Amino acid sequence: MKLLRFGAPGAEKPGVLDAEGWVRDLSAHVTDIAGDTLLPERMAELRALDISTLPVVAGTPQEDLRLGPCVGRTGKFICIGLNYADHAEEAGMDIPPEPVIFGKWTSAICGPDDAVEIPRGSEKTDWEVELGIVIGKGGKYIDEADALSHVAGFCVVNDISERDYQLNRAGTWDKGKGNDTFGPIGPWLVTPDEVEDYNGLHMWLDVDGKRYQDGSTATMVYKVPHLISYCSQFMSLQPGDIISTGTPPGVGMGQTPPVYLKGGETMRLGIEGLGSQTQAVRRA
């Protein structure tokens, strides 16, 4: 299934994408793509529905029908740093001996095609296409062998970053990661049965039509099951939590000379089988 949330910001309704690319309304069956809806038993009930009998929502998704974040009421937005071998090389940094964890504030979350705002005073706002894991069944001290049973689905994340705030403002990375609009997610939450090989997904990002990132989850250092198990050693994972798993090379900071967003650009990004995002960039 490709689950989604459609409608105006703050008033999104639950939906599902049908085989023809139209949105079908799930409101008669669930209140939101969030919380207990993401538990395995509830997801199984949704899979059992005859999607063709659900009401069609007017409009073309991501054109004249706005899609919101594909998951609602996210409690934790967990990110993994330097998790691609080729990106670590690009950044001139060693591969960490265990996963680097930092957080994005949940107020950063926005729809896949909502505008991205450059913070006031920013000169180094950057981009990062990433594979997002959405937790379904919660837990802590999760065994790596059982980790995939805790996954509700996968999605595209743009881990937008202000590099000066991240690296030079006397604190942890979080200062440069959690500004408003710095966390577009979606367009849809794709259930694991529709993702053939999460270890080999092509991922890409363009700015104004120029391809900057062109990589694959194949170069991920710490894989999905390990990341879920590892994070659960430090916090309980709950339905709707997002783990954003790192980015391949091609970020603005890694260009020679570096290239950063100034306002007025358009970003397009996507991951094989998980859909794409388009964001206009503007200054706050």
pLDDT digits (tens, 9 = 90+) for 95-120: 899 999 999 999 999 999 999 999 99
Token pair for 116: 């991205």
Residue 90, pLDDT above cutoff 90: no
For 184-227, give the DSSP string. EB-S-EE-GGG-S-TTS-EEEEEETTEEEEEEEGGGBSS-HHHH
Collapsing DSSP to helix, strand or coil, 72 comes out as coil
Asked, as a colleague might, if the bond just before 187 is cis with ω within 30 of 0, I would say yes
Select the more confidently predicted residue: 64 or 86: 64
Q: What is the mean pLDDT of the chain?
A: 96
- At 172 the pLDDT is 87
* 195 contacts 224 by C-beta, under 8 angstroms: no
Over residues 20-43, mean pLDDT: 98
- Domains of the chain in start order, with CATH, are 68-283 (3.90.850.10)
Pseudo-torsion of CA 12, 14, 19, 22, nearest 10°? -30
Number of H helices, E strands in the chain: 4, 18
pLDDT digits over 166-215, tens only?
Answer: 999 988 899 999 999 999 999 999 999 999 899 999 999 999 999 999 99
> CA–CA separation, 114 vs 126, rounded Å?
16
In angstroms and rounded to an integer, the radius of gyration of the C-alpha atoms of the chain is 18
Q: Are 134 and 240 in contact (CB under 8 A)?
A: yes
The whole-angstrom separation of Cα 34 and Cα 71 is 6
Residue 134: the pLDDT is: 98
pLDDT tens readout for residues 117-139: 999 999 999 999 999 999 999 99
Enter the DSSP assignment of 65.
B
